[in-house]
Chains A and B, each alone.
Chain A
Amino acid sequence: MTLDSKIPSGPLETKWTHHKEHLRLVNPANKRKYKVIVVGTGLAGAAASASLGEMGYNVLSFCYQDSPRRAHSIAAQGGINAAKNYQNDGDSVYRLFYDTIKGGDFRAREANVHRLAEVSVNIIDQCAAQGVPFGREYGGTLANRSFGGAQVSRTFYARGQTGQQLLLGAYQALQRQIAAGTVKHRSRCEMLDVVVVDGKARGIITRDMVTGKIEAHAADAVVLATGGYGNVFYLSTNAKGCNATAIWRAHKKGAFFGNPCYTQIHPTCIPQSGDYQSKLTLMSESLRNDGRIWVPKKKGDHRPANEIPEDERDYYLERVYPSFGNLAPRDVSSRQAKYACDEGRGVGPSGLGVYLDFADGIKRLGKKVISERYGNLFEMYERITGDDPYKVPMRIYPAVHYTMGGLWVDYNLQSTIPGLFVGGEANFSDHGANRLGASALMQGLADGYFVLPYTVNDYLAGLGLKDRVDTTNPAFVDAQREVTTRTEKLLTNKGDRTVDSIWKELGKIMWNDCGMARSRESLTRALQQIPALREEFHQRVKVVPGSGAEVNQELEKAGRVADFLELGELMCTDALHREESCGGHFRTEYQTPDGEAQRNDADFAYVAAWEWKGQGQKPVLNKEPLVYENIQLATRSYK
């Protein structure tokens, strides 16, 4: 199959404007005759539901949490990028575009990233108008902070709770549409399959997580905004419920999966403290504005941090990357932390940690300013670790945080299944092989407020009002039966292993063999272990004595882990096939003499879009070449 990315022709700067001008429209009086399903209520999902509802469509919205306000966008701390150039420091749409392409190690689509940079300014306007309480200067204008991978200050923030405030803005807009009757929302309702009729996405199958009822919902288009799949690793900064089921089920129904191996390991997370640990907690990248990262110069130096004199400390990011220093991009910073710990210079009881030290920042700016900027993060750190970061440096270590990969989409954010659109982290589109800090919020809202409303509109205009399907169609009946069978099988399996024990085992395989560093050897090993573990799951998993017709959290988890066990294999397959290093994908065989990622543009400047061929069959690789018309591929340097 040839992948058509539908990138408009013409100069980069006018592609989106020109494209928008030619997208088809639906008459306002006809909009209410169409139904659109939106799954997920994070930034992309809530913004899309609210916008489509406001336009007049009938929207059906779903989330697995008890309220749309809980979606994991809420946990983003540091900020959102926008090319406003309020600092007069030389920022522009082009620079944000270029920084994002470069940050992604030249593995993202030019046209998508440029559009993202263009609409970034509208996002700030929209959110400010919604009453998002952004940080302000004394004169009343919006304030900015710096983030990794950029030399301008373009990040807007609301204390250390930017994701929360942006999400609440979108959630409030969604609740307004719910009150207006344009959006019908279901909380605690999980999507378990997508229904495809005559090649087009026509609806979904869900399970009501309170009553256990399995239901079919028909629509004219389906939007998935269901987030990333970092929980394949068991331990990650994702929420406990974040899962890949929606996108994985769509993949098995024909949606190609783009670059599954591109995973972001965030450099500043609180280190793991024991085997019982259920998740990892991120400390915002914004802390690197005023915090300095270091390890002792000597191996095995177990003195407390404040007893290690200045000249025995290695501020390794400042040393290796003098021009970006502590604000080097995430993949680069994580790798350097790994090297320091591999050399035996890590700190803390496990030796898997580095210091993030605010002593200089406090000396320079005073405790009050530091507390204004990061107070809630310091508090969170102290609650978890019991240490006071005003007095002792934080200890941090990289952790799985974000997945750049996701369902393949064209320029219109439509997957390879017509009528199935994918927004936010769930798609693969804008971040290449590494996402820059403060760009996830930007992309989620760009997709939800400013891209999907146009492109879904266009699709529906093309579909017309005569082409209708309802849930009596055999495809719905079959899908509903299949979901019911799968659920019953999990409930009646008489095994002896808990879901968590298998999930943790998968996580260990993924972290050790497909984590911060990957090799042919480790990936080959993982590709033997994962199918065996999956077999073990289906033979030995033990769900619960409860029934399916009530709240059953073990059952929910079991279904998600079953899908992780398939997706994990695809991630390793993709990582093994990509014989280069780029961004977060670091193959130990392909590195420069000083340990940086070595790309192979001649052979791998493409998006790997994997096609499901059936259970037990090898997935097929489709390639979308990445064509750079406006920038030159360069070796990324932050030195």
Chain B
Amino acid sequence: MSHGNDSGNGNMKLTLDVWRQKDQQDPGRFVTYQVEANEHMSFLEMLDVLNQQLVSAGEEPVAFDSDCREGICGMCGFLINGEAHGPVRNATVCQLHMRHFSDGDRLRLEPWRAAAFPILKDLVVDRSALDRIISAGGYVSVRAGSAPEANSILVPKDNADRAMTAAACIGCGACVAACPNAAAALFTGAKVTHLGLLPQGQPERLSRVLSMVEQGRDEGFGHCTTIGECEAVCPAHVPLEVISKMNRDFIKASLTVREAVAESGG
């Protein structure tokens, strides 16, 4: 079983320049390591090998986040040579396999860079700002026990499919890291679009988009200027279209709110 590797035997020697930062106060720096890998490993397994070497040598291992290692939990992610989740499109770094690299490669590993994502240690960042955007309105308010019979609300298959495509977002933050403005527009637009396409999401549709966008702004994310880097790196194939849908809802919501304020005499 060979998957065609440039170095022939599947083994490779790599040079890694890894961002090391002890905590939020530490200014941080790149440290260079040598590691041997083989083509069947995932990128994170290659880092596991490096960390075993470091621990055995009495050095501190490189801290990085990962959990499911199946590309779905969204916990992993860092930049490899400046690219979010590395060179392969539409895959998280845990699903990136070493067969995409060659013997002798030199790789620079650094954490997501965004004001809203403070670095906790090495490649680990704090993405709780994304949770707070969801808290601001990324839900349907329905008490457990109060739901109507599921088939009493019909959803056209096409809408359900498009909602699913938007809902596939794994919340990894790659879109923010790849964006020159560090905007969270793809993330926010994905949730606004998912719920906006379904009948269940209609009652809170306008208030949702206003609160979520506002929260994003308060968290320090930048503004979207439709560059499209986010879509290019998104491991969950969330399409750029979700941002235009969000913008449309946002404009509509802003006008509606203004109308409502005027009507109430305010």
- Do chains A and B stick together as partners? yes
> Footprint of B on A, CB under 8 Å?
47, 50-51, 54, 65-72, 74-75, 84, 86, 122, 124-131, 133-142, 158-159, 161, 164-165, 168, 171-173, 175-176, 178-179, 187, 210, 239-241, 273-274, 276-279, 281-282, 348-349, 380, 383-384, 386, 449-450, 453, 498, 500-501, 542, 544-546, 550-551, 553-554
> Footprint of A on B, CB under 8 Å?
1, 3, 22-23, 38, 40-42, 44-45, 48-49, 52, 55-56, 58-61, 63, 65-75, 88, 91, 95, 97, 99, 120-122, 124, 126-128, 130-131, 134-136, 138-151, 153-157, 160-161, 163-164, 167-168, 170-171, 194-195, 198, 200-201
Which residues of chain B are within 8 angstroms of A51 by Cβ–Cβ distance?
Answer: 144
On whether the beta carbons of A133 and B71 are closer than 8 Å, the reply is no
On whether the beta carbons of A72 and B157 are closer than 8 Å, the reply is no
On whether the beta carbons of B144 and A133 are closer than 8 Å, the reply is no
> Nearest chain B CB to A444's CB is how many angstroms away?
14
On whether the beta carbons of B160 and A134 are closer than 8 Å, the reply is yes
Contact (A140, B142) CB under 8 Å given A179-B135, A210-B120, A239-B73: no
- In the bound assembly, the distance between CA atoms of A161 and B161 in angstroms comes to 13
- In the bound assembly, the distance between CA atoms of A70 and B72 in angstroms comes to 8
B55 to A, closest residue via Cβ: A498
On whether the beta carbons of B144 and A554 are closer than 8 Å, the reply is no
Which residues of chain B are within 8 angstroms of A550 by Cβ–Cβ distance?
Answer: 22-23, 121
> Nearest chain B CB to A602's CB is how many angstroms away?
42
> Nearest chain A CB to B140's CB is how many angstroms away?
5
Interchain Cβ contacts within 8 Å, total number: 223
- In the bound assembly, the distance between CA atoms of A122 and B144 in angstroms comes to 9
On whether the beta carbons of A274 and B41 are closer than 8 Å, the reply is yes
On whether the beta carbons of B155 and A140 are closer than 8 Å, the reply is yes
Nearest 6 CB-CB pairings of A with B: A140-B154, A129-B147, A172-B139, A386-B3, A128-B150, A133-B164
- In the bound assembly, the distance between CA atoms of A173 and B147 in angstroms comes to 13
> Nearest chain B CB to A176's CB is how many angstroms away?
5
Which residues of chain B are within 8 angstroms of A136 by Cβ–Cβ distance?
Answer: 155-157, 160-161
Which residues of chain B are within 8 angstroms of A179 by Cβ–Cβ distance?
Answer: 135-136
Which residues of chain B are within 8 angstroms of A172 by Cβ–Cβ distance?
Answer: 134, 138-140
- In the bound assembly, the distance between CA atoms of A164 and B168 in angstroms comes to 8
- In the bound assembly, the distance between CA atoms of A241 and B68 in angstroms comes to 8
On whether the beta carbons of A70 and B99 are closer than 8 Å, the reply is no
B140 to A, closest residue via Cβ: A131
- In the bound assembly, the distance between CA atoms of A277 and B91 in angstroms comes to 19
> Nearest chain A CB to B195's CB is how many angstroms away?
5
> 22 A–B contact pairs at CB < 8 A?
A50-B144, A54-B144, A67-B128, A74-B68, A124-B150, A128-B150, A128-B200, A129-B200, A133-B198, A135-B160, A135-B164, A141-B151, A142-B150, A172-B139, A187-B128, A187-B131, A239-B69, A380-B71, A383-B97, A384-B95, A500-B52, A554-B55
Contact (A380, B70) CB under 8 Å given A131-B201, A133-B198, A172-B134: yes
- In the bound assembly, the distance between CA atoms of A504 and B75 in angstroms comes to 23
On whether the beta carbons of B97 and A384 are closer than 8 Å, the reply is yes
On whether the beta carbons of B144 and A125 are closer than 8 Å, the reply is no
Contact (A67, B130) CB under 8 Å given A165-B167, A274-B38: yes
On whether the beta carbons of B48 and A349 are closer than 8 Å, the reply is no
Which residues of chain B are within 8 angstroms of A281 by Cβ–Cβ distance?
Answer: 69-70
Which residues of chain A are within 8 angstroms of B56 by Cβ–Cβ distance?
Answer: 498, 542
Which residues of chain B are within 8 angstroms of A282 by Cβ–Cβ distance?
Answer: 70
Contact (A450, B144) CB under 8 Å given A175-B139, A274-B38: yes
Contact (A239, B68) CB under 8 Å given A133-B194, A141-B151, A542-B55: yes
- In the bound assembly, the distance between CA atoms of A279 and B44 in angstroms comes to 11
On whether the beta carbons of A240 and B67 are closer than 8 Å, the reply is yes
Which residues of chain B are within 8 angstroms of A501 by Cβ–Cβ distance?
Answer: 52
Partner of B128, one of A66, A142, A164, A551: A66
> Nearest chain A CB to B31's CB is how many angstroms away?
15
